[in-house]
Amino acid sequence: MRHLILLIVLFAISKSTVAQTFEIGPFIGGANYIGDVGKSSYVNPKTPVGGVMARWNRSKRHNIRFSLLYAKIEADDLNSNEVRRQQRGYSFTNHIAEASLGLEFNFYSFDLNDAIQQGTPYLYTGLTYFNTNHQYLSADLPSPGKLEPQGDNWSFAIPLIFGYKQTVTPKIIGSIEIGVRYTFTDNIDGSNPQELLGRRDPPREFGYTNTKDWYVFSGVSFTFTFGKKPCYCNI
């Protein structure tokens, strides 16, 4: 992680440009969670996600990106294709509020100083810090129990986002993307109460406690450009 943060800083302070164009706009779409409850589908937008995204274009091939997003997530074992989960019958609802900062790399040159319509696939990664709720079973196994929220769970995640963006007008850029977040918590779904209690609680543990939870945001954004037109040249 230290190497990733160092890479972001080095790009941020590079002197490859003498001017920059900024973008800011809304992001809307759908969210789904991947873990020990409900479906195990990787991309299955189910609940809404929304927020704001900003870019600081540093060259034709990369920019520094920041976003604030909020989503409701939910999962139900009855919707799973696994018989074991269907018989168990757990379900929960939760929220995810994230802030993410990192680098977005364009596969092709994307020059905002060029008036012609253009587009490019892109890849984004960086560091995400997010808030959600711990979940906790209301009764020891094998009683079915219920998953109940039990206070704030702050954690980090590594985003891996693939998308495509295109100029809609000279001042508006439209994007569509799918973004997977690998988190450093295993208790978005309540399967690992050790994170909440600070000690193991085997009667209320379930699933695979050696794996972490994931969540996915899929959606579209429309960013509006402003600021000085970029001059991508060496000085």
**Domain boundaries 2-14+21-226, corresponding CATH code:** 2.40.160.20
What was the pLDDT predicted at 231?
55
Under the banding of pLDDT at 50, 70 and 90, the label for residue 143 is confident
Confidence of residue 226 (pLDDT cuts 50, 70, 90): confident
- pLDDT for 34-93, tens place per residue? 999 999 888 999 999 999 999 999 999 999 999 999 999 999 999 998 999 999 999 999
Find the range with the poorest average confidence among 54-58, 149-153, 178-182, 226-230. Answer: 226-230
| pLDDT at residue 133, as a whole number | 98
Question: pLDDT at residue 17 above 90?
Answer: no
Residue 66 Cα distances to 60, 127, 128, angstroms: 18, 10, 10
Task: Return the pLDDT at 210.
Answer: 84
Instruction: Give 151-194 as a DSSP string.
Output: EEEEEEEEEEEEEEEEEEETTEEEEEEEEEEEES-S-SSSS-TH
Q: What is the pLDDT of residue 188?
A: 97
- Confidence grade of residue 157 (pLDDT, cut at 50, 70, 90): very high
- Which runs of E-coded beta strand occur in the chain? 21-34, 47-57, 62-76, 91-106, 119-137, 147-169, 172-183, 214-226
Give residue 104's pLDDT.
98
pLDDT in tens, 116-141: 889 999 999 999 999 999 999 999 99
Question: Rounded to whole angstroms, how far apart are CA atoms 225 and 113?
Answer: 11
Of 164, 206, 215, nearest in space to 185 by CA: 215
Domain extents in the chain: 2-14+21-226
Q: Does the pTM of the predicted model rise above 0.85?
A: yes
| pLDDT for position 233 | 52
Q: What is the pLDDT of residue 20?
A: 54
To the nearest whole percent, how much of the chain has pLDDT over 90? 77
